[in-house]
Amino acid sequence: MRGVWTVARKDLRQRLRDRSAYVIGIVAPLVLATLMGAQTLGTTSEDLAYDFAFVNEDGGERGAAFGAVLAALDDEGVIKLRVVDRVAANRLVDANAITAAIVAPAGFSAEVDAGQATTLEVIANPEDETGSQVAEAFARSFANEVSAVSMSVQTALDARTTPVDEATIPTLVERALDVSSPALLARAEAPGAGVGFAAHISFGMAVFFLFFTVQFGVLSLIDERVSGTMARLVAAPIRRSSILAGKAFGSFVLGVASVAVLVVATSLPPLETDWGNLAGVALLTVAGVLAAVGIVALIGGFARNSEEATGYSMFAAVVLGLLGGAFFPVGLATGTIERASLLTPHRWLIGGYRELSAGGSAADVLPAVGIVLLFALVAGSIGLFRFRTLTRSP
Amino acid sequence: MPPAETILEARGLTKTFGTRTAVDDVSFRIGAGETYGLLGPNGAGKTTTISMVCGLMDRDAGEVTVAGSAMGPTAFEAKRAIGLVPQDLALYPDLSGRENLAFFGRLYGLRRAELRRRIDDVLGVVQLADRAEEKTEKYSGGMKRRLNIAIGLLHQPQLLILDEPTVGVDPQSRNAILASVERLGAGGLAVLYTTHYMEEAERLCDRVGIIDAGYLIAEGTRADLVALVGAEDRVQLGVAGAVEAAAMAIGEVAGVQQATTSEGTIHLIVKEARRLLPDILARAAAARATVNRVDVAEPDLEAVFLHLTGKALRD
């Protein structure tokens, strides 16, 4: 232990004298979180909901059912819904007061029940293309759900509106289906839903920059070898494993300290992020720092010099951060990206912080902690194996 | 005559990198108070030998015993007995001289008052006490070299290993380093000193091992090694005019064992060059050659190396 502590203490002393360590570990994540979060301060997913109007000219069961689905989405805060007639709907769209209007035309139920082709109509707002596409996707998904019969969705697009990109429809439909199905209505209620973007970006930046902060200690092993000090360390009466452990411990302390400072700083105005249960935050943070140390060791272990190691690990940190939702809620992604995010510790860490922020307990985030520790174990074991060679031929 | 107490014994050290054998069956011993020089050109295997002695590098074959303890990766007693001064400046530039010393001292188990006392002692030895609080990035090359040595001395080792400690050092600092090593040797410390500078080996070392291409090709005191090439002196005459005729005439002088020529120079191997030189110059003049330069080299380690390997130390 003497060697571990001595090496870690020396590393920490060096890092604390390095101003860039403060910038990477504290200033940059705090500034970015504040800048990005400030644009949406006080907003929640409810504020970001689409504002739709529903026109039911049908009067039958099918039209009423669609109205009920939309009303349920309104209740969940996914959309804001107002039920109006066609004239009012057109007026609201023209006034850019709503995202879009969905019309169940007269005879809709009868035509569906008779197995005839029928049409749901979307009155699109040319000022809000995305919202109009979402409305169309909702209509399509309902059409798919209520009947296997071929049904078309006609979008009343203004001439100024860019035509809907067919390629984006499947994605939008998938999202609409997710939201309107009972199973995924539950997802809207999942812990973490409703956490504001400012809070999300606080978690995201803390995790994102953590992978840069821990680089200092782990990759300094390569610097020790280049500078010749590794020979002195190995010649000293301490175990070689103590050198590795000392480096890892130094990185661990830096990583934990960095996140701890960010927790405090982002809890204060203007971000005022609610991090929730502190025991849970501590558990997630420890697991996250271990995973970061392990992944950086894994990447650095394959590098031939410190420049290469720094480049590799920065690239990995950026890719993992983007994929894992450090810059935007990963729930906004779909398909492959969404599934790939599960392979990043960032996804689990940020998800855990969101869950705690929404009122979850430490026990609630234990699964996420376990998965992140698994990342740490696998990556760290390989990285440790690779780095051992540095101490064998200093 | 070797000292009674053996501090370092290396037997049959061998290290191979791929198909290249860097060190091949090297054996030597160093006694207490003895300064042993490992002399050889760059790439001869000196640093690899030291790395095996210090436990930095695994050996393919051979044994190392330091102060009675076998060397290995976890041979802490053996490691504690060694003070290593690597060829590289093994310092942390963002730490002060004192902080560098404190860090390495702690690795060797020094604590608090003892650590402070030892730091002050070695700073005095290398004359850096007044610059101890400065970051080493502000030190000159010579100061860094001296601090490098101080770290090796900090824990009072029984064997100090210096790997080419004067490489890239200005003459003044070099002289200061050599004087320090002389004092340490005189103080009873066993020293293993590697160099490719013949003058340093001659000045500092009680015994010298000559290493080339991984082999320890000769070992002994300076006198022992010089005896290997006999007592002949080497004389070079820069000549204009009848070079070949002059060489033939000089070759007939009693005591001149060999006379060869190359590009206006006559190379001679001579017994007692100082006594024969007037006769040699007279023969050259008689052969209508003008001598414009005379170099006399009495036997030294450079000559020994040349004799043993057929090449100069700096080749």
pLDDT digits (tens, 9 = 90+) for A267-278: 988 888 899 999
In sequence order, the 6+-apart residues with CB closer than 8 A to the CB of A152 are A117, A118, A119, A120, A143
Residue B14: how many CB atoms within 10 A of its CB?
A: 16
Find how far residue B153's CA is from the centre of its chain.
Answer: 19
pLDDT, tens digit, for every residue of B284-313? 999 999 999 999 887 788 878 877 877 666
Q: Which range (A12-16, A152-156, A351-355, B247-251) has the least confidence?
A: A152-156
| Residue A12 C-alpha, separation from nearest chain B C-alpha, in angstroms | 12
Please tell me the distance in Å from B53's CA to the nearest CA on chain A.
Answer: 10
Q: State yes or no: pLDDT of A173 exceeds 60.
A: no
DSSP three-state, residue B31: strand
CB-CB neighbors (< 8 A) of A15 in chain B: none
Dist CA A361 CA B198 (whole Å): 74
Partner B contacted by A16 (CB < 8 A): no
A6, A237, A240: residue with CB nearest B80: A237
A232 touching B (Cβ < 8 Å) = yes
Q: What is the mean pLDDT of residues A1-19?
A: 89
Give the residue from A380, A384, A389, A388 showing the smallest Cα distance to A295. Answer: A380
ipTM value > 0.85:
no
pLDDT tens digits, B59-102: 999 999 999 999 988 899 999 999 999 988 899 999 999 999 99
Please say if the pLDDT value at position A12 is more than 60: yes
Give the pLDDT band (50/70/90) at residue B52.
Answer: very high
> Among the listed ranges A29-43, B28-42, B179-193, which one has the minimum average pLDDT value?
A29-43
Q: Which pTM was predicted?
A: 0.70
Residues of chain B positioned with their CB less than 8 A from the CB of A250: none
More reliable by pLDDT, A152 or A289: A289
With contact defined as beta carbons under 8 Å apart, do B157 and B81 qualify? Answer: yes
Q: Please give the DSSP secondary-structure letter assigned to residue A162.
A: P
Q: For all residues of chain A together, what is the average pLDDT?
A: 79
Instruction: Please indicate whether residue A167 or residue A11 has the higher confidence score (pLDDT).
Output: A11
- Which range among A94-98, A328-332, B225-229, B262-266 shows the weakest confidence by mean pLDDT? A328-332
A228:B88 CB<8 A: yes
Question: What average pLDDT does range B47-51 have in this prediction?
Answer: 93
- Would the pLDDT of A151 be above 70? no
CB contact under 8 A, A237 and B51: no
Of A351, A317, A346, give the one whose Cα is nearest residue A331: A351
CA distances from residue A100 to A49, A80, A139, A236, A339 in whole angstroms, order as listed = 12, 11, 11, 73, 30
pLDDT band at A171 (very low <50, low <70, confident <90, very high): low
